[in-house]
Amino acid sequence: MPFAFKRLGIPALILIEPKVFEDGRGFFMETYKMPDFIAAGIKVNFVQENCSRSSKGVLRGLHYQNPPFAQGKLIRVVKGEIFDVAVDIRKDSPTWGKWVRLILSEENKNILYVPAGFAHGFCVLSEIAEVVYKITSVYSAESEAGIIWNDKDLDIEWPVEEPVLSEKDKKWPALKNADIRFHYAEETL
């Protein structure tokens, strides 16, 4: 199998380590293979792929879309390095309000699966970072929502004290005041 799938501290989050074939010409790796992902429990359809380019210190997040346009995300870095965070926002979840952080980079080539029901954000650690992510639902302005990056109740240990933020990301509410329409259910992905 060209991938190793590892469940993280919040089991719905899955780190995917692709097998990388390197030689004097460069490298080759598969970044997505539906049968392997389904066998690992990632049984979703990706309908859109996005790419962002950001400079050092930029923080994007914490974003999510409410149902019926809730989005699962498959995130990888093709240039640079990011500090990536996913927060469980599924009401009644045993890990509600908990978060997982990890480094995704062009060097480690790891991929992160973040299902619907999680807020997601990242901070750029390198001079430039390009992030590619597949999503399970198209963008919907009416469903767009977020949580303020520095919510004191979440206490995320970001690697930057004064990040570069969009105007929208400066105004998201705290988790306790956010418009969240996700509920926890003990089910597979």
List, for residues 84-114, the tens digit of each pLDDT value.
999 999 999 999 999 999 999 999 999 999 9
pLDDT at 189 over 70: no
The one-letter amino acid at 61 = G
pLDDT band of 1, cuts 50, 70, 90: low
- Using a pLDDT cut of 70, give the percent of the chain over it: 97
Give residue 2's pLDDT.
Answer: 87
List the one residue out of 85, 27, 79 whose CA is nearest residue 55: 79
**CA-CA distance, 143 to 152, in Å (whole number)?**
24
**CA-CA distance, 85 to 83, in Å (whole number)?**
7
List the one residue out of 5, 12, 7 whose CA is nearest residue 187: 12
pLDDT at 186 over 80: no
**CA-CA distance, 108 to 110, in Å (whole number)?**
5
Count of CB atoms situated within 10 Å of the CB of 75:
22
pLDDT at 7 over 80: yes
Name the residues annotated as catalytic.
63, 133
Give residue 126's pLDDT.
Answer: 98
For range 45-51, the mean pLDDT: 97
Give residue 45's pLDDT.
Answer: 96
- Phi/psi at 176 (nearest 5 deg)? -65, -20
pLDDT at 13 over 70: yes
b/e sequence 34-63, b meaning 16+ C-beta within 10 Å? eeebeebbbebebeeeeeeebebbbbbbbb
Query: Mind listing the domains of the chain with CATH numbers?
Result: 46-177 (2.60.120.10)
**CA-CA distance, 137 to 73, in Å (whole number)?**
9
List the one residue out of 91, 84, 98, 110 whose CA is nearest residue 20: 110
pLDDT at 64 over 90: yes
**CA-CA distance, 88 to 119, in Å (whole number)?**
7
- Phi/psi at 36 (nearest 5 deg)? -70, -40
List, for residues 128-176, the tens digit of each pLDDT value. Answer: 999 999 999 999 999 999 999 999 999 999 999 999 999 999 999 999 9
174 conformational bin, left if phi > 0, alpha if psi -120 to 50, beta if neither: beta
Give residue 114's pLDDT.
Answer: 98
Give residue 188's pLDDT.
Answer: 43
